[in-house]
Amino acid sequence: MPATPRRRVAVTGLGVVSCCGIGNDAFFAGLAAPAPEGEHRVHDFDPSAWFDVKQARRADRFQQFSVASAQMALDDAGDISIDPARAGVIFGTGVGGLETLQEQITVLISKGPRRVSPFLVPMMMANAGAAAISMRFGWRGPCETVVTACAAGTQATGNAARLVASGRCEAVITGGAEAAMAGIGLAAFANMTALSSSGTSRPFDRRRDGFVIAEGGAALVLEDLDRALARGAHVYAEVLGSASTADAHHITAPAPGGTGALACMELALEDAGVTAADVAHINAHGTSTPLNDLAEAEAITKLFGIPGPPVTSIKGVTGHSLGAAGAIEAACCALTIDRQLIPPTAGLEELDPEMHLDVVTGSPRSLGAGVVLSNSFGFGGHNGCLVLAPLSFRDPGGAGSTDSRTGN
Amino acid sequence: MDNEAAFDKFKSCAVEVLQVPAEKITLEAKFTEDLEADSLEVVELVMALEEAFDITVEESELDGVDTVGKAFDLVTSKL
């Protein structure tokens, strides 16, 4: 097969809705602050900033997070003036409109089938977020939803980057959103013993006892690099590559020894055309569950040795927002690269003695030269890894030009 | 219930469901053009009216009901 040139992919816009802050500055500052107390909801999210009353009533909270983060990201990207046919939306979610579904099941039981809202389907469907984004901005290229549990935001971003790299799209709004903190969601995660009984997210800590469920959303505008440079856009980072694999092992437990995570990280580095030695930082999945963190730590050590590059899990602050997590973390990686600062891992007091990682704790650490790897692993055995880098990594003397590596 | 009281009740349902100012709810107002209500919103309004007036409206009865006046007549015919 002849090598297909692939375009370079720039991150030119970011928008974040997180329990530690709404908007890029508040979010990134929040990552270096103590974790929010109590439930990790986005308490200060006000839909009226993005929707009129009627629109807000017709949009599930996860859809509101989707549109709000996309709007912020597109505003951040500046004047993108794009051919709508070559503008795409690839968004992730874990479950879609769970709050609406729960509410309408209550209506069904208490008032009967004739009272179930005609808006239930367009509010609960997992693709409602992506659809709402494409409608709001009139983007008529591919509009798809990735539903791979906690890997959704990362895999969506990887898929979106390929649409830009292949030339199908000039720009794609990607990311993910989740609002699954309805009673049914909380009970279901609690009863599978996935949630922290102490209510504290402690990634990689010896005393970690489960994840702290959260909600939120994040969006990234991915754009053809040459186009972005030509219009003078600010480029936060370049998406160098990604990978998506499956454990094919167990519906909730990671493959022993982190073999699935390891394979995915290796493939992502290969896709990016870099080696383990090029990795300056890993933004870990680090959920604070006993099984995930151990498997991920083993995989990182197998690939990078001891101590390996500095690792952080922002879930110590953000908690775990499921299908939004990978998108929030991709946005974090872009900000980490842009600001040359690695946020610390909150909640980690005593590293699990079985792990041999250099985890960033306490205060932010300067980012060294190289690429940043972001990991996400989801129930179902879904693995997603992204590789981002500053523009200067590939092009120390200035940026631009087509990538000569083979697309896939 | 007299006609005026019934229309007030109708109006408050429409304001709540369609999120339009009360003064736009006139007998002549068309759901699509004047009240910017799509078909799902009309269904939701009918559900609210069924509940408020304790009536039942079959889907087939909604054929051709494109104005507030026609919807209001349909409701009052069942009281």
Q: How many other CB atoms are found less than 10 A from the CB of residue A182? A: 18
* Residue A40 designated active-site: no
Closest to B43 (Cβ–Cβ): which among A52, A53, A118? A118
Residue A398 domain-assigned? no
Q: Which element (helix H / strand E) includes A110?
A: helix A98-111
What's the distance, CA A117 to chain centroid?
31
- Helical spans, DSSP H, in A235-324: 259-272, 290-304, 315-318
* Inter-residue contact B14 to B35 (CB < 8 Å): yes
Query: Residues with Cβ < 8 Å from B54, sequence gap 6 or more?
Result: none
Q: Which element (helix H / strand E) includes A154?
A: helix A152-165
For A298-352, write each residue's pLDDT tens digit: 999 999 999 999 999 999 999 999 999 999 999 999 999 999 999 999 999 999 9
Closest CA to A34 of A347, A366, A359: A347
CA distance A77 to A172: 11
Residue A349 domain-assigned? yes
Look at the block and give the residue holding tokens 């509410």. A103
CATH number, domain B3-76: 1.10.1200.10
Q: How many other CB atoms are found less than 10 A from the CB of residue A384? A: 31
Residue A406 domain-assigned? no
Is the minimum CB–CB distance between A135 and chain B shorter than 8 Å? no
Query: Is B47 in contact with A114 (Cβ distance < 8 A)?
Result: yes
For A225-267, write each residue's pLDDT tens digit: 999 999 999 999 999 999 999 999 999 989 988 999 999 999 9
* Residue B34 designated active-site: no
Domain range enclosing A31: 9-391
Residues linked to residue A243 through DSSP beta bridges, in sequence order: A385
For A152-195, write each residue's pLDDT tens digit: 999 999 999 999 999 999 999 999 999 999 999 999 999 999 99
Q: How many domains, chain A? A: 1
pTM given for the model: 0.95
Distances (CA, A) of A360 to A265, A281, A318: 20, 10, 16
Q: What mean pLDDT is predicted for residues B3-7? A: 94
Closest to A54 (Cβ–Cβ): which among B19, B47, B50? B19
Query: Is B44 in contact with A118 (Cβ distance < 8 A)?
Result: yes
* Inter-residue contact A288 to A210 (CB < 8 Å): yes
- ipTM for the complex? 0.90
Query: Is A118 in contact with B40 (Cβ distance < 8 A)?
Result: yes
Query: Is B19 in contact with A52 (Cβ distance < 8 A)?
Result: yes
CA distance A376 to A373: 10
Where residue A211 sits, what CATH number does that domain have?
A: 3.40.47.10
Residue of A nearest to B39 (CA): A118
Look at the block and give the residue holding tokens 């720009």. A171
Residue A400 domain-assigned? no
> Per residue, what are the HEC states of A224-261?
EHHHHHHCCCCCCEEEEEEEEEECCCCCCCCCHHHHHH
